[in-house]
Chains A and B, each alone.
Chain A
Amino acid sequence: MINLAYRDIANGFGRYMLTSLGLGLLIGVTLTMAGVYRGMVDDARALINGSATDIWVVQRHTLGPYAESSTLHDDAWRGIVGLPGVAETGNVAYLTMQVKHREKDVRVMIAGFESGKPGEPMRLVAGRPVTRSHYEAVADVKTGFQVGDRVRIRRHEYTVVGLTSRMVSSGGDPMLFITLKDAQEVQFLKDNDAIVGDRERLAANPQFNRPGVPGLLSAVEADRFSNHNVNAILVRVASGTDARLVADTILRWKHLQAYTRTDMEQILVAKLIATSAKQIGLFLVILTVVSTAIVALTVYTMTMSKIKEIAVLKLIGAKNRVIVAMILQQALGLGVIGFVIGKTVATFWAPIFPKYVLLEMSDAGRAFVITMVICTLASILAIRAALKVSPATAIGGG
């Protein structure tokens, strides 16, 4: 038996392929949107996994350090490291800012870490770790920096000594690792004029300049112009220890908030990107509806353009299933070609996106099934019209 669908497609190949291309681009956008969401989740997980941490200790009643700001004294770790089950602690400071690189602004999340402790950059892909106590940095490859590049952060120049990968903030900004001391300075450092102004204001205050209390002004200045705060303490527990128990102990006795990996994943995935996920979800629904409408309209138009031929087919004895098969095959063909185009373009353009786009095979599989269902549903209108046409139409009547 002749495949009528294939022959009809071959007859109007250009138009069919153009329609498939249009649908394919829509499917490509849909797959990319799903990839953007997957990328956000993966970024969040990479942030958690990248720090090789079991517990995040942050300021009480906050969701810090990634979802909310959190401030702790940098000696708070002393009370934690002695708790049973705690193997290691590390202070960290995080801040998102623009840094200058070759006269261009690059948005990064600066992570201040203590060398050899939780929070230091993992997975170096080039260069070496930070070994000096000041003005060296390890950057995520997404920053575009190279080993040996000079980067300006506030008033100081830093040398990129190493590169790491998949280390990005929950917002997708690539991370730049510097020492904790440097990060603390960056976080609170004022410009020279402001410092001079503050010092003059302080010296002019008679309360700090009392006769008989020598050194008071110096003590206040030292306290005012140095920073001993961090954003979180990262805790690694001893092997075989339940992180939940340690976190509960910290919460109960140290009056600090402590999150396990599960808690942090919940914060980053369920809370931090929840709105974005809903946004993307709604966008996906709209794209699905638009795709369905386009396929339905296309298949319907294709069918109506040969309605006389369909009437002739019915008149000469073609069974309904022959006509239904023709329309359905064309609709499914549109879906298959569209899907292949969509998957291909999504694969090609995903790396161009500034944020990580993770195209998962399971999403592609689901998208394929949904495309086929959409094409089947979209062809119903055309099939109904084709089955309704009377063979009498072919011989001068309806």
Chain B
Amino acid sequence: MADHAKKPAIKLEGLVKRYGSGSSAVEALKGVDMEVYPGEVVGLLGPSGSGKTTLLQCLGAVIDPTAGRITLGGDVTFDDEWKISDLRELRRDRIGFIFQAPYLIPFLDATENVSLLPMLAGKPNSEATARAMDLLKVLDVAHRAGARISELSGGEAQRVAIARALANNPPIILADEPTAPLDSQRSLTVMRMLNELAAQYRTAIIVVTHDDNIIPTFKRLYRIREGKAHEEAGEGRPFS
């Protein structure tokens, strides 16, 4: 269970998301409460159509919830009366994204894909490139730094994508089925990596997954059912 003595990196209170209006309205989220703490990797499970993607989009400041409150690192970014104005800046500086497919920019090399984020945040090129190289080293893909994206293997591309998510040192990372295209061994490697990074950078990581292979590795997880999040204790199984 979560350590309530610490300040949560992510806190959701009564989050509601309704699509449409009137009799045709569909409520994807029906009052979600959730807390994720710095350095923690939490699983987000649920069948298709349960509202996982909607929740991720609300958390990622991509769509606005209909009601409720989102607090990131102690700052309210959305509630019924107020929402942060510059969502792009929020996403750029405070949230890292990892997708099912790496979605790297194909016309940039591995280093540039990672250094682009600090550059977008206004960091000098040299500083951004140094940061990218550091992360590629941590993720063990520094030897592919100058490679084109089309030249990377699936695993290498996913590690570059993880490095990109960490590039601006965000307190939160949202990972949407990051192990889906990988075999079971590589899935566990990615999960171990995410856990190490969460511990190293004190990053809160939410992993949306269907992968039965990695579900037992979570110490804590939320299961989305009928638009509500139910907290469960995970097995916390080792990664090998």
Q: Do A and B share a complex?
A: yes
Residues of A within 8 A of B (CB): 1-2, 4, 7-8, 10-12, 306, 308-309, 312-319, 322, 390-392, 394-397
Contact B108–A317 (Cβ < 8 Å): no
In the complex, whether B62 has a CB less than 8 A from a CB of chain A is yes
Residues of B contacting A397 with CB < 8 Å?
Answer: 53-54, 57, 63
In the complex, 17 of the A-B residue pairs with CB atoms within 8 angstroms, ordered by the A residue number, are: A2-B108, A2-B119, A4-B108, A7-B107, A8-B107, A306-B106, A309-B103, A309-B105, A309-B106, A316-B92, A316-B117, A317-B117, A391-B91, A394-B97, A394-B99, A394-B103, A395-B97
A1 touching B97 by the CB < 8 A rule? Answer: no
Contact B107 A395 (CB under 8 A): no
The distance from the CB of B119 to the nearest CB of chain A, in whole angstroms, is 5
Among candidates B89, B103, B115, residue contacting A312 with C-beta atoms closer than 8 Å: B103
Interface range, B side? 20 to 34
Closest B residue to A9 by beta carbon equals: B107
Identify which of residues 72-114 in chain B touch chain A, using a CB-to-CB cut-off of 8 Å.
Answer: 88-89, 91-93, 97, 99-100, 103, 105-108, 112
Q: Which among B63, B117, B148 is the interface contact of A392 at CB below 8 angstroms?
A: B63
Which 3 residue pairs across A and B have the least CB separation, nearest first? A317-B92, A11-B107, A8-B107
| A-B contacts besides A7-B107, A11-B148, A391-B62, 16 pairs, CB < 8 Å | A2-B125, A4-B105, A11-B106, A309-B103, A309-B106, A312-B103, A314-B88, A315-B97, A317-B89, A317-B92, A317-B93, A317-B120, A318-B92, A394-B99, A396-B100, A397-B53
B199 at the interface (CB under 8 A from A): no
Residue of B nearest to A11 (CB): B107
B60 adjacent to chain A (CB < 8 Å): yes
> What is the chain B residue whose CB lies nearest that of A10?
B107
- Bound CA span A7–B53, Å: 32
Q: Are B62 and A392 in contact (CB under 8 A)?
A: yes
CA distance A396 to B97 in the complex (A): 12
* B135 to A: closest C-beta gap in Å: 14
Report whether B62 and A390 are in contact in the complex, using a CB–CB cutoff of 8 Å: yes
A388 to chain B, nearest CB (A): 15
Query: Please, how many angstroms separate the alpha-carbon atoms of A308 and B174 in the complex?
Result: 18
Q: In the complex, A322 Cα to B105 Cα: how many Å?
A: 14
Interfacial chain B residues near A319, Cβ < 8 Å: 88, 120
Which B residues are CB-close (under 8 A) to A2?
108, 112, 115-116, 119, 125
Is there a chain A Cβ closer than 8 Å to B152's Cβ? no
C-alpha spacing A10/B106, complex, angstroms: 11
Q: Give the chain A neighbours of B99 by CB distance below 8 A.
A: 312, 394-395
Do residues A315 and B120 form an inter-chain contact, with CB atoms below 8 A?
no
Residues of A within 8 A of B53 (CB): 395-397
Which residues of the other chain, B, contact A313 by a CB distance below 8 angstroms? 105
Among B53, B97, B174, chain A packs the most CB atoms within 10 A around the CB of B97
Contacts of B63 in A (CB 8 A): 392, 397
The reply to whether B57 and A392 form a contact with Cβ atoms under 8 Å apart is yes
Query: How far is it, in angstroms, between the C-alpha of A209 and the C-alpha of B103 when the chains are bound?
Result: 107
Chain B residues with Cβ below 8 Å from A390 are 62
> A396 vs B62: C-alpha distance in the bound complex, in angstroms?
11
Query: If A1-B125, A316-B164 touch, does A395 touch B119 (CB 8 Å cutoff)?
Result: no
B188 in contact (CB, < 8 A): no
Contacts of A317 in B (CB 8 A): 88-89, 91-93, 117, 120-121
Query: Are B89 and A395 in contact (CB-based, < 8 A)?
Result: no
> B56 interface residue, CB < 8 Å from A?
yes
Decide yes or no whether B35 CB sits under 8 A from chain A. Answer: no
Taking CB atoms, residues of chain B closer than 8 Å to A392 are 57, 62-63
> What is the distance, in angstroms, from B225's C-beta to the closest C-beta of chain A?
19
Given known A-B contacts A11-B106, A391-B62, A394-B99, A316 and B57 have beta carbons under 8 A apart: no
On chain A, the residues within 8 Å of B116 by CB distance are 2, 316
| Complexed CA–CA distance, A185 and B116 (Å) | 84
Tell me if B176 is interfacial: C-beta within 8 Å of chain A.
yes
Q: How far is the CB of B39 from chain A (nearest CB, A)?
A: 23
A395 to chain B, nearest CB (A): 5
* Most chain A beta-carbon contacts within 10 A, residue among B116, B121, B176: B116
The B129-175 residues at the A interface (CB cut-off 8 A) are 148, 164, 174
Q: Taking each of B89, B106, B176, which has the highest tally of chain A beta carbons within 10 Å of its own beta carbon? A: B106
- Chain B residues contacting A308 (CB-CB under 8 Å) are 103
